[in-house]
Structure formats: C-alpha cells, structure tokens
Amino acid sequence: MPRFAANLSMLWQDLDPYERFEAAAAAGFPHVEMLFPHELDADRLASTLDDLDLAMVVFDPAAGDWAGGERGLLALPGREDEFVATLREAIKLATRIGTSKLNALVGIPPATVSSDQAHHTAMANLNRAAPLVREAGITLLVEAINNVDIPGYWASTVATAADLVQTVNDSSVRLQLDQYHAAMAGEDALDCLRTFLPLVAHVQIADVPGRHEPGTGSQPIGDFLRELDRLGYDGFVGLEYRPLVDTASSLEWMRTMDLRRN
C-alpha cells in the first residue's frame, strides 16, 4: 500500500505545531506534510524533524494574504514577482529540511480577471517556476480545490489542474490529486486517478461529507487506495482530514479498513 503522511495542519489541532510533530512520531508516522511551515522557526523546525527522525514530504509555499481570504498566487495577474519570491523562499526551506515537493496553490482571481487571463498567468508562472524547482531537485505540484470549500478557486476540477500540468510539459511540474476535493467537485476520484495517474506525484484523502477520516462518509476510499496500489503508484498519501472526534480515534480506520487488493 502507499505510504501515509500525517497532515499536521489538520491532525492534532489541539496541540501546538511543534507538539504535533511529536504526536505524529509517537503514532508511528515517519512522514508528515503541512500547509505553511514558513510560519514556524526554521531552526526549530529543522531540529524537530531531525530529532524525531521525521521527513516532511510536501508543503505549500506562502499563498498570499491567507487571513484576508487569498488562497494562492499562481493564477493572479500582477502578482507574478510575489509568486516567484514565495517559491524561492519555499525552495530554500525545502532544501534545508529535505522536502522534495511543493504545492503551489492556484488562487482566487479577482472578479475582474477572466478565466483566460487566469490561465495565461498560471502558465507563465509555471514556466518561470519549472527551471527553479528543477535546479533544486524539487517537484512543483498543482492541485484542484473544489468551489464548495473555496468559492472562486480557479482550478476547481482535476481536469483543469491536469491541463496546466500537461500544457507546461515539464517533468518538474506534476499533479497533486486530492480525492476529497475531486469528490466535492462532483468528480469520480477513481476515474480521475485512472485518467491522470502519469501526472500524479502526490495524493491526499478525506471522506465526504465533512472532510473527516475514511469510513465516516460515502467515499469508497478503500477502493481508491487499492487502485493506487494496483496501478503502481509509489508516492505518498497525505491524511488531510479533520478528525470527527479526535486524532487518536480517527486513526483507527487504518487498522480496521480492508486495504487488501480485490
């Protein structure tokens, strides 16, 4: 089965950020992921990962004014230099802590920006970013996020995000397939996986509705994980869900769900 990475932006939210690393290690996770580690002290972050023998497999570069409602810079005209600056800072941190993948959030373009303008901006930014991440030995990810959770997010379907990746046509730019967001957008995550697997470099899961742990909703996540295995996916699966009760009990699905191949 694919290797699981604990998402420390959603799991153990009752703990402070550094305690979450300790909790993940204690729960047996050697791999973690999170949204914005640049908000932490870089020295303490690096030493925490080293001391606990943890690897952070992916994180998101700064995504604009998050508190003000921004959700990424990739498709925002006029913010190109800011996007590159945040990417350079993310590459610097990723190189220091050994992270090999960065997820660049596409963003919510202003109402005055047309879809064509957003697409053009995203492509220009990806073409500018590709040699930067390639030189650093890092893969840049593009992710679809549904418009129920984030209204106006430009790449709201897996097909839209995949089109960006296919059009840039660079092995350093790949797709992050979030099964939850696909389902919330009305897509079949299994179909998306089968269609776009050659582009997929990272996967995340959560059940629908509620974005809780597998087994709390209607999604066939066991089938999805078995299909990842059958198709030969060798990357990580991020547990990016909000525990229904608490993180400890939410991890029981990993023990009880039948993840064997059909």
pLDDT digits (tens, 9 = 90+) for 175-219: 999 999 999 999 999 999 999 999 999 999 999 999 999 999 999
pLDDT band at 256; cut points 50, 70, 90:
confident
Residue 96 lies in a domain: yes
Q: Judge whether residue 135 has pLDDT over 60.
A: yes
Residue 30 lies in a domain: yes
pTM above 0.85, yes or no: yes
pLDDT band at 1; cut points 50, 70, 90:
low
Angle between helices 158-168 and 115-136 (to 10 degrees): 60
d(CA 213, CA 251): 8
Q: What residues are annotated to the active site?
A: 143, 240
For 122-147, what is the mean pLDDT?
98
Number of domains in the chain: 1
Domain interval for residue 133? 3-256
Half-sphere exposure of 157 (CA within 13 A, CB side): 8
Q: pLDDT tens-digit profile of 78-115?
A: 999 999 999 999 999 999 999 999 999 999 999 999 99
Half-sphere exposure of 245 (CA within 13 A, CB side): 6
Q: What is the pLDDT at residue 261? A: 45
pLDDT > 90: percent of the chain: 96
Residue 261 lies in a domain: no
CATH code: domain of residue 116: 3.20.20.150
Q: Judge whether residue 260 has pLDDT over 90.
A: no
Q: Judge whether residue 25 has pLDDT over 90.
A: yes
For 158-172, what is the mean pLDDT?
98
Residue 213 lies in a domain: yes
Residue 262 lies in a domain: no
Cα 93 from chain centre? 17
Residue 19 lies in a domain: yes
